C-alpha cells in the first residue's frame, strides 16, 4: 500500500466517530423535519424551542463540532463527498457578495419567526426545505464549504461572530483535502471573526452589519410578540420594526466607537459578540420556562410552581457572567474551529 493510500485509510478510520455522529444528527434533523410536516405543533417545539436555543451556546464553545455534524451541511456536502460536484472555485468577489446576502437573509428571516415560523410547522418545514435545496444545488457546482456553509448559509455570520474564541479545534469531518476554496477559510483561521475580511466593500459591510447590528437586533426581536393573525400589510411589516430599530442603534454605536479609535477593533468585536449572545439568553431562558415578556411565546414548558422565580431570574445572570468570562476575559487562544486538512497539492505531491 502506498503512503497516500495508507494515509487515506487512516483518515477514514479517524473519522468513523464523526460519521456516526453525522448520521445520528441527520436522523434527528430528519425526525424534526418529519414532525414539522406531519405533527407541526410538536415539530415547532422541537425545532424552535429545543434545537435552536442550544445552538448559540454550542457555537460559542465549539462551532467546529456544530459544523461537522450540522444535518443541513451533511446534505449540502453530499455532491462533493460522492464526487458529483463540479468543484468550481468561487471568486473572492462572489464569496463576499454571498456573504453579504447571508447577513441580509438572517435579518430578513429571523423577524418572520414572529410572523409565521414560530407558530407554523409547515412554513418552517418549507424554510428548511428551501435552504436544503439551495445548498444542494450550490453543492453540485462549487467546492466544499464555499458552496453554502461558508458563504450563503444565514447562520454562518453568527458563527463568525460568536465563534471567535472557541475551546479548541477538532478534526475537519467534511473536507478530505483543503482546496483553498474559501479565503480566508473560516474553519481554519485562528480566532475567526466577521471583521477579519475587509478587502472588499461587500465583506466590510457584511462584517459591520453583523458585528455592530446583532446585539440590538436580538434585543429588538425579543420585544415583538408572536403574531397569530394579520390585518394589513403594515401589521405584517411590524415584526421588523423593533429588530431594525435595535440594529440601527447598536450599529451606530459600533461605528462611532470604531471611528473614535478609543477601543481596539478586536476588543469591540468581542464586546459586541458577548452583548449579542448574552442578550439572547437573557430573554430566551425565561421565555422557554414560561416567564417571558409575552406569555406563552417560545415556551418549552410552564415552570410556574415548579422552578422558583428567583432561579429563573438568576439563570440569565449566570449565562451572562459565563459569556463575559468566555468571550471577553479569556485571552484569544489562537485556535481555529477545525484542523485544516492537508492541502490538495501537497498531498498529491506526496503520493
Interface residues toward ligand SF4, by CB under 6 A: 144-145, 150, 172, 175, 178-182, 185, 187-188, 340
Closer CB to ligand SF4, residue 79 or residue 220? 79
Closer CB to ligand SF4, residue 149 or residue 276? 149
Grid cell in block for residue 337: 474551529
Least distance between ligand SF4 and beta carbon 139 (Å)? 12
Least distance between ligand SF4 and beta carbon 280 (Å)? 27
Closer CB to ligand SF4, residue 11 or residue 320? 11
Closer CB to ligand SF4, residue 291 or residue 337? 337
Decide: helix, strand or coil at residue 88.
Answer: strand
Grid cell in block for residue 226: 408572536
Closer CB to ligand SF4, residue 179 or residue 239? 179
Least distance between ligand SF4 and beta carbon 138 (Å)? 13
Grid cell in block for residue 232: 394589513
H helix or E strand, kind and range, residue 268? helix 265-288
Closer CB to ligand SF4, residue 32 or residue 182? 182
Confirm if 268 and 298 have CB atoms less than 8 A apart: no
Closer CB to ligand SF4, residue 88 or residue 304? 88
Least distance between ligand SF4 and beta carbon 4 (Å)? 18
The CB density around residue 184, as the number of other CB atoms within 10 Å, is: 12
The contacts of residue 61 (CB under 8 Å, 6+ apart) are 166, 167, 326
Question: Sign of the CA dihedral 158, 160, 162, 167?
Answer: positive
Question: Sign of the CA dihedral 221, 223, 225, 227?
Answer: negative
Spatial separation of the C-alpha atoms in residues 332 and 133, rounded to whole Å: 37
272 has which bridge partners?
Answer: none
Least distance between ligand SF4 and beta carbon 276 (Å)? 25
CA distances from 56 to 88, 155, 162, 278, 321 (A): 31, 10, 7, 10, 15
Least distance between ligand SF4 and beta carbon 235 (Å)? 42
Least distance between ligand SF4 and beta carbon 184 (Å)? 8
Amino acid at each position: 500500500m502506498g503512503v497516500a493510500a495508507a494515509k487515506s485509510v487512516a483518515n477514514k478510520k479517524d473519522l468513523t466517530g464523526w460519521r456516526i455522529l453525522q448520521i445520528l444528527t441527520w436522523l434527528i434533523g430528519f425526525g424534526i423535519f418529519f414532525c414539522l410536516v406531519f405533527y407541526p405543533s410538536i415539530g415547532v417545539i422541537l425545532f424552535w424551542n429545543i434545537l435552536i436555543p442550544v445552538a448559540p451556546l454550542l457555537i460559542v464553545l465549539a462551532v467546529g463540532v456544530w459544523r461537522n455534524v450540522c444535518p443541513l451541511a451533511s446534505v449540502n456536502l453530499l455532491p462533493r463527498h460522492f464526487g458529483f460536484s463540479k468543484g468550481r472555485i468561487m471568486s473572492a468577489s462572489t464569496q463576499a457578495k454571498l456573504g453579504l446576502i447571508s447577513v441580509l437573509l438572517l435579518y430578513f428571516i429571523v423577524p418572520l419567526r414572529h410572523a409565521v415560523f414560530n407558530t407554523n410547522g409547515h412554513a418552517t418545514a418549507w424554510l428548511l426545505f428551501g435552504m436544503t435545496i439551495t445548498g444542494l444545488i450550490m453543492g453540485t457546482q462549487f467546492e466544499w464549504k464555499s458552496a453554502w456553509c461558508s458563504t450563503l448559509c444565514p447562520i454562518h455570520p453568527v458563527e463568525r461572530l460568536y465563534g471567535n474564541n472557541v475551546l479548541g479545534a477538532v478534526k475537519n469531518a467534511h473536507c478530505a483535502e483543503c482546496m483553498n476554496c474559501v479565503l480566508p477559510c473560516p474553519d481554519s483561521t485562528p480566532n475567526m471573526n466577521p471583521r477579519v475580511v475587509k478587502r472588499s466593500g461587500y465583506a466590510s459591510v457584511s462584517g459591520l452589519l453583523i458585528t455592530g447590528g446583532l446585539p440590538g437586533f436580538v434585543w429588538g426581536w425579543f420585544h415583538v410578540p408572536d403574531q397569530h393573525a394579520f390585518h394589513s400589510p403594515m401589521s405584517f411589516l411590524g415584526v421588523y420594526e423593533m429588530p431594525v430599530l435595535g440594529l440601527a442603534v447598536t450599529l451606530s454605536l459600533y461605528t462611532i466607537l470604531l471611528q473614535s479609535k478609543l477601543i481596539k477593533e478586536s476588543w469591540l468585536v468581542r464586546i459586541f459578540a458577548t452583548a449579542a449572545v448574552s442578550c439572547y439568553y437573557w430573554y430566551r431562558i425565561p421565555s422557554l420556562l414560561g416567564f417571558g415578556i409575552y406569555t406563552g411565546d417560545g415556551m418549552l414548558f410552564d415552570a410556574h410552581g415548579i422552578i422558583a422565580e428567583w432561579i429563573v431570574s438568576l439563570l440569565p445572570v449566570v449565562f451572562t457572567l459565563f459569556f463575559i468570562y468566555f468571550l471577553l476575559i479569556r485571552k484569544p487562544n489562537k485556535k481555529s474551529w477545525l484542523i485544516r486538512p492537508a492541502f490538495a497539492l501537497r498531498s498529491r505531491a506526496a503520493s
